[in-house]
Structure 1
Amino acid sequence: MSGFLYYLAAFALVLGILVVVHEFGHYLVARWVGVKVLRFSVGFGRPLWSKRLGADGTEWAIAAFPLGGYVKMVDEREGEVAVEDLPRSFNRQPVLSRILVVAAGPAANFLLAIVLYWGLFWHGTEEFKPLLGAPVAASAAAAAGLEDGELVLKVAGEKVQTWQDMRWLLLQRAVDQDLIDLEVINARNEISIRRLDVSPVRQSGWDGDALARLGLGLYRPQLPAVFGTISGNSAAADAGLRSGDTVLGVDGQAIDSWADFVRIVRRSPGKPLALDLLRDGKQMAITVTPAAVDEQGKEIGRIGVAVSDGDRSHAALMVTVSYGPLVALTKAVVETWEKSTFTLLMIGKMITGEVSWRNISGPVTIADYAGRSARLGLDYYIKFLALVSISLGVLNLLPIPILDGGHLLYYLVEIIKRGPVSERSMEVGQKIGMALLFMLMAFAFYNDINRLFSG
């Protein structure tokens, strides 16, 4: 499958799952409180496929425009209702029932995230250890005295096991703190406390990769350029390369590490490379032509070899984290809650101008992240799905007319004033909600296009 189609399929699967789960939440609770459902649609516009099922003859449809979906219920405000269906009309239900139906969509998204995180925590995930690479010069990490190869044990007094643990705690603390203590241990088993200034993250409006802005990066071990596994039907196999070969040079340029060799291969798709090798104590020359492959829309070279030290390096860099079912469930709920509140906090800071609007992502960026996570493996793809599900749940609860949160706001007003919101007020609210959504979409598409051209 081509790179574009792969990314498109990964995005379509994420979107399809999230839409179905969200709308199914509305559907189930609507049926539970006694509302008649006329249509369950994935997508908007003209149905491409539909089928009527159930005692009520609910139409299940897949429509032409895929960015969303809806559940159409019997409602006197949207058309004439048969006399026998009036008791099952949505607008005639008690306000509490209407609140439950509307809130069920976002609730289903949060529940999906909890289930996904629970499965991951219980099954176990393999993640990068919080091993630090050499800090970027003149960065906050360099000023803190962090060194290449140090392992982070604690962030602000809290233990961390993985790179993501460390990243998440730093982001949370950076919201309202300037200095954060990192407890680290080096290769000599010496434990130190490094005080990291995280204020540059806020000063930049949270634009871009926060850890990169602080000068933090993953540790990359310097491995010798020795071939391990040779893939079958690869450029390396065709050229006669063997496991155990050591690369001394490429096109007359000396090679000091595996990273040097990989950089040259990646930037040479379709270009013959003259390799100076050491095999069984003898020097020899072999020419290999890297195959051109697509990676995130960019053509790179690949020959199909793994570094011989890969297994040992992998064990040194990775850690498997898993928990029992009850602990995993607790962690899943906490993870979902913390990410939900953090998302809401960032939206609030975006409104006040403390966070850059460039952080808003549209479908192009989401599709890119979906494809990247899918290529990294199922664990990463599931984490991405859970995170987007949380974002969708939070977004839909915002008190913007036309979103679920806007309807919940109407019902709250109805409870307070002991009467429904007027039709005129709802019409004005719908127009305001549409304008806000179009503005949000415009920002998202602008940011997508800007990322495509600026990288």
Structure 2
Amino acid sequence: MELLKGAATTLVSYGPPFLFVLTLVVFFHELGHFLVARWCGVAVKAFSIGFGPELVGWNDRHGTRWRIALLPLGGYVKFEGDENAASVPDHEALAAMTPDERASSFVGKSVGQRAAIVAAGPIANFILAIVIFAALFTLAGRQIIAPKVGDVAAQSAAAEAGIEKGDVILSVAGTPVESFNDLMRIVSVRAGEPTALTLDRGGKTIELSVTPRLVEEKSRFGIQRRGLLGIRASLDPADRTLKTYLPHQAVVEAVKETWFVVERTGAYLGGIVAGRESADQLGGPLRVAQISGEVAEIGFSALLNLAALLSVSIGLLNLMPIPMLDGGHLVFYAIEAARGRPLSERSQDMGFRIGMAIVLMLVVFATWNDVVHFRSL
């Protein structure tokens, strides 16, 4: 009972920021599908934010039903010839169509056009993240903390490697670093891996090798696992500056930031498959709601930053080669392009059923992680 009360309190307290973040990300994902479909001449039957019973809806002049539904955990675009929101073909309806009707259906388009429509959703998520990051970098700038060592913990990985107070880190694992945050980001994903450091010590360039240690830290967002050197940033105000960017510079930095999130997320998922990472950090809607609420208390800029991070994550998730997801559809289209003909209806139907089972298992697993997380609070 206490667990249910805690979950209810979380939803009531954090609901508005959660809905804002999720709706923004889902809307742009589906808008990507929608715009490319219209460009390819596909008739769009419905554009829905959420699932289930319709709360608000209207029809545009092209016959598309725009709707906001009761369950806000996602959305979909339904094309002419689709049987359901997952774009599974309705073969009976397709067989009954006239040539003109079939030409405006999703199935009636070339494999290249269908692939473009499907890929447009995740691509829109990446574009949204870049736009948000660029806007934040232009309007608010970035706090840059010089990669200068302010202190070294005793018996830490840094101390054993010979890093000293006052050293300025120039590069980590061959990657130049501009700020202490860059340093922490690279090190956080290299726990247990010997890592080359280039540093400046009183005008002299020194090469060292250090192996970050894996640490587990419990926070209000759950267990965080990362690599740690055991150093702190300099507290000297002269080593902290606010860097502002012109719009074109901000876009370049935003692309780098988006790529970093892609790379880090991919490394984590790969670590789960390889057994190096624990899957208990995968969160479901309750965890996202909690994080949204906590971040909203910091400020609107922080909430937008979270939306950008979530947008990248959803883009990557949808590119996974699982039937029912965009990546699964792209795999089918790649096979179709290679064979010169689509897979049989039976094979596609079996694939969609397997994909549905996998997606449901992922949802259940993530929700269970949320339950365990809230029990530990």
The interval holding the TM-score normalised by the smaller chain is 0.7 to 0.9
Distance 1:138 1:454, change over 3 A: farther
1:197 aligns with 2:211: yes
Match of residue 348 from structure 1: 270
Q: Which residue of 2 aligns with 1:69?
A: 75
- 1:172-251 matched pairs, under 5 angstroms: 174=190, 177-181=193-197, 183=199, 195-198=209-212, 200=214, 208-211=224-227, 213-216=228-231
Secondary structure in 2 aligned to 1:165?
helix
For residue 128 of structure 1, report the CA deviation from its aligned partner.
5.7
Task: Give the C-alpha shift of residue 321 in structure 1.
Answer: 2.1
Any conservation in 1 of the 2:194–2:209 contact (CA below 8 Å)? no
Tell me, in whole angstroms, the C-alpha distance in 2 between the residues paired with 1:364 and 1:148: 42
Cα distance in 1 for residues equivalent to 2:152 and 2:285: 33
Change (3 A) 1:191 1:319: farther
Separation (CA, whole Å) in 2 of partners of 1:393 and 1:3: 26
RMSD (Å) for aligned C-alpha atoms? 3.2
Aligned to 1:275: none
Question: Relative CO higher for 1 or 2, CA cutoff 8 Å, sep ≥ 6?
Answer: 2
More moved, 151-160 vs 39-48: 151-160
Asked if 2 retains the 8 angstrom alpha-carbon contact of 1:40 and 1:61, the reply is yes
Query: What is the identity, as a one-letter code, of the residue corresponding to 1:73?
Result: F
Task: State which of 146, 156, 176 in structure 2 corresponds to 1:139.
Answer: 156
Which residue number corresponds to residue 394 of structure 1? 316
Percentage identity across aligned positions?
36
Distance 1:151 1:450 in 2: 41
2:134 matched to which residue of 1? Answer: 118
Bigger shift: residues 101-110 or 154-163: 154-163
- Provide closer, same or farther for how the CA distance between residues 159 and 87 of structure 1 changes in structure 2, counting only shifts above 3 A: closer
Greater share of residues in helix = 2
Q: Larger deviation: 345-354 or 80-89?
A: 80-89
Residue equivalent to 1:382: 304
1:166 corresponds to: 183
**What is the aligned length?**
352
Q: Aligned-pair distance for 1:114?
A: 1.4
User: How far off is 1:23 after superposition?
Assistant: 0.3
Q: Is the 8 A contact 1:21 1:109 kept in 2?
A: yes
Is this contact kept in 2: 1:36–1:88, CA < 8 A? yes
What pairs with 1:60-99 in structure 2 (closer than 5 Å)? 60-75=66-81, 77-78=89-90, 80=93, 83=98, 85-99=101-115
Please list the CA deviations of residues 230-260 of structure 1 after superposition, one character each: whole Å capped at 9, or x if unmatched.
xxxxxxxxxxxxxxxxxxxxxxxxxxxxxxx
TM (norm. structure 2) is 0.81
Q: Distance in 2 between matches of 1:159 and 1:64?
A: 48
C-alpha distance in structure 2 between counterparts of 1:140 and 1:341, whole Å: 25
Q: What SS does the aligned partner of 1:90 have? A: coil
Deviation at 1:154, TM superposition (A): 4.1
1:133, distance to aligned residue in structure 2 (A):
6.4
Of 41, 49, 57, the match for 2:48: 41
How far apart, in 2, do the equivalents of 1:380 and 1:149 lie?
A: 31
What does residue 28 of structure 2 align with?
21
Between the aligned partners of 1:352 and 1:317, the Cα distance in structure 2 is 39
Please say if residues 125 and 379 of structure 1, whose CA atoms lie closer than 8 Å, have aligned partners that are also in contact: no
What TM-score does the superposition give when structure 1 sets the normalisation length? 0.68
Matched residue of 2:214: which SS?
helix
Give the SS at the match of 1:91. coil
- Check whether the contact 1:52–1:60 (CA below 8 A) recurs between aligned residues: yes
Q: Aligned partner of 1:181: which letter?
A: L
Specify which of 360, 369, 373 is matched with residue 438 of structure 1.
360
> Is structure 2 residue 104 aligned with structure 1 residue 104?
no
Deviation of the 1:96 alpha carbon: 0.8
Q: Is the 8 A contact 1:124 1:323 kept in 2?
A: no
CA contact (8 A) 2:10 2:290 kept: no
Aligned-partner residue type, residue 316 of structure 2: V
AA matched with 2:125: N
In structure 1, give the amino acid aligned to 2:132: L
- Residue 131 of structure 1 deviates from its aligned partner by 6.0
After superposition, the Cα gap between the structure-2 partners of 1:62 and 1:48, relative to the gap in structure 1 and judged at 3 Å, is: same
Separation of aligned partners in 2, 1:135 and 1:376: 30
Task: For residue 166 of structure 1, report the CA deviation from its aligned partner.
Answer: 1.9
Q: Does 1:57 align with 2:73?
A: no
Unmatched segments (≥5 aa) in structure 2: 1-8, 83-88, 217-222
In 2, the alpha carbon distance for the partners of 1:34 and 1:7 equals 40
1:430 offset after TM fit, Å? Answer: 1.3
The amino acid that maps onto 2:320 is: L
- For the pair 1:420 / 2:342, whether they are aligned, the reply is yes
Match of 1:9 in 2: 16
Q: What is the alpha-carbon distance in structure 2 between the residues aligned to residue 190 and residue 7 of structure 1?
A: 51
Provide the rounded CA distance (Å) in 2 between the counterparts of 1:140 and 1:450.
32
Question: For residues 165 and 349 of structure 2, what CA distance do their matches in structure 1 show?
Answer: 60
Structure with higher Rg: it is 1
1:293 is matched with none
* Alpha-carbon distance in 2 for matches of 1:132, 1:365: 34
Task: Please state whether the residue corresponding to 2:252 is helix, strand or coil.
Answer: helix
How many Å apart are 1:113 and its aligned residue? Answer: 1.2
Q: CA deviation at 1:153?
A: 5.0
Q: How far apart, in 2, do the equivalents of 1:445 and 1:139 lie?
A: 37
The structure-2 alpha-carbon separation of the partners of 1:3 and 1:142, relative to structure 1 and needing over 3 Å to count, comes to farther
CA apart distance, 1:176:
8.8
SS at match of 2:107: helix
Q: In the TM superposition, what is the alpha-carbon distance from 1:328 to its structure 2 partner?
A: 2.4
Query: Is the 2:323–2:354 Cα contact (8 Å) retained in structure 1?
Result: yes
